Amino acid sequence: MKVDSTIAAASKPANSQAELLFEAQQKKQRQFRTGVTATWGGLLLILIYLFSGQNFLGIQTIKLDYEFMQKNVVFIAGGLVETIKISILSISLAITLALLAALGRLSTFPPIYALSTFYVSLIRGTPLYLQIFFFFLALPQLGIVLSGLISGVLALGLNYGAYMSETFRAGLASVGKGQREAAIAIGMTPIQTMRRIVLPQALRFAIPPMGNDFISMTKDSALVAATGFVHEVMWRATRVGRAQFNNLEALIMAAMFYWVMTLILTYVQSRIETRLSKGDR
């Protein structure tokens, strides 16, 4: 114990070797980030310029129908509400199913294990596009009529639940046996062990890939437009684009909306990762 306090005291002076190394590393990282940001800015400007309609050094850039864009931007943006609604409902369903399926995969009771693997195999073995139509067009034949929104949410939730269960399973498996034993030894029940010790550690492991899945799903929500009854961003863009043969402008606007949503989600994801990574160093 005495040894520790001497080491602590010795590292007090401001310019220990470790601190200088850390400082140099920080500086290098800052420079790298500045370079990346500047290049992003440049690429963005080039992209905007490409669609500016200007003639530059004999290169005619693409001219967009701004009048059309102005007139329809609000209509397409109106689809964001539906897109976000579908995404949130689907991800909630997906997380629930994924957690159940992942726990099922860890079960030593054969029927539970089989049920979980069967679900994952069936859903991953068929296209998402087909699943959406199955709920929307095939079920009515059996007397089950679902709205476009419900069909979309069910299909997306089931589909991403199957994929995310693999992520969850890996997360749960990443928590060592010793962690469970330590929890049990201080008298925790299986539920307390799961909630307080295993899940927080598993989630930390699973959050980055989960974020990717969520971002991916937000874009896949565009497939629900195919039902023709959910007026989300993609449906609205194709509708006005086709009607006035301004598909270029309409799809560019929709693309920008999806991109911005993705950027926001990526930012949120990185914030959550930082918060969860406490204790790593």
List of residues contacting another protein (CB under 8 A): 1, 3-5, 8, 176, 178-179, 181-189, 192, 196-197, 200-201, 204, 278-281
In whole angstroms, the minimum distance from the beta carbon of 96 to another protein comes to 23
C-beta closer to another protein: residue 12 or 57: 12
Nearest to 122 by CA among 96, 100, 168, 155: 155
Nearer to another protein, 125 or 178 (CB): 178
- In the bound state with another protein, the residue whose beta carbon lies nearer, of 8 and 74, is 8
Residues composing the chain: 281
Q: How far is the CB of 235 from another protein (least distance, A)?
A: 43
For residue 91, how many C-alpha atoms fall within 13 Å in the half-sphere facing its CB? 18
CA-CA distance, 122 to 168, in Å (whole number)?
18
Distance CA 255, CA 272 (A): 26
Tokens found for residue 78: 């109106």
Nearer to another protein, 61 or 192 (CB): 192
Question: What is the smallest separation between the CB atom of 184 and another protein, expressed in angstroms?
Answer: 7
Q: 275 and 97 in contact (C-beta within 8 Å)? A: no
Q: How far is the CB of 26 from another protein (least distance, A)?
A: 18
Q: Is residue 122 within 8 Å of residue 134, measured between CB atoms? A: no
| Long-range pairs, 229-233, Cβ under 8 A, ≥24 | 229/147, 229/148, 229/149, 230/82, 230/86, 230/148, 230/149, 230/152, 231/78, 231/79, 231/82, 232/79, 232/80, 232/82, 232/83, 232/86, 233/76, 233/77, 233/79, 233/80, 233/82, 233/83, 233/257, 233/258
CB closer to another protein out of 80 and 203: 203
Q: Cα(172)–Cα(195) distance, rounded to whole angstroms? A: 12
Q: By C-alpha distance, which of 174, 159, 158 is closest to 207?
A: 174
Nearer to another protein, 7 or 144 (CB): 7
Nearest approach in angstroms of CB 189 to another protein is 8
CA distance 74 to 72: 5
State the minimum distance, in angstroms, from the CB of residue 196 to another protein.
6
Nearer to another protein, 35 or 200 (CB): 200
In the complex, least distance from residue 172 CB atom to another protein, rounded to whole angstroms? 14
